[in-house]
Homo-oligomer: A and B are copies of this chain.
Amino acid sequence: MAEISSDIIRGYNDTIILYLLLDGPSYGYELSKRIRTNTDEKYIIKETTLYSAFTRMEKNGYIESFTDEVLSGGKKRTYYRITDSGRAYYQAKCEEWNLTKEVIEKFIVK
């Protein structure tokens, strides 16, 4: 079966994460499982990709973090919450996606 290449998902991991955060705050491990189940195992995000996306997006102001005092599985969780700026970015990414899809599909034989 075809695999999803990191080159095409590149730059859309942020969008995927932001979409899931629209439902409310979440954390790495949970998000990774949601992505996995949501796509019927078709896309399994790499841990390093996920956590580096958190760092980047927090730096960019798209998400905010807060920590839970409760330890789960030995390590304290870091939760992330989407910001207004993140919501706007997500919307822009959706528009970009629709345009990009239109462009690429001109070169894809079905």
Contact = CB atoms under 8 A, between A and B. Distances in A.
A27 interface: no
A20 to B, nearest CB: 7
Contacts of A19: 107-109
A5 B15 contact: no
B95 A2 contact: yes
Copies of this chain assembled into the complex = 2
Interface stretch (A36-44, A50-58, A76-84): A36-44
A97 B103 contact: no
Given A2-B99, A94-B108, A101-B101, A11 B15 contact: no
Interface of A: 1-5, 7-12, 15-16, 19-20, 38-39, 42-43, 92, 94-104, 106-110
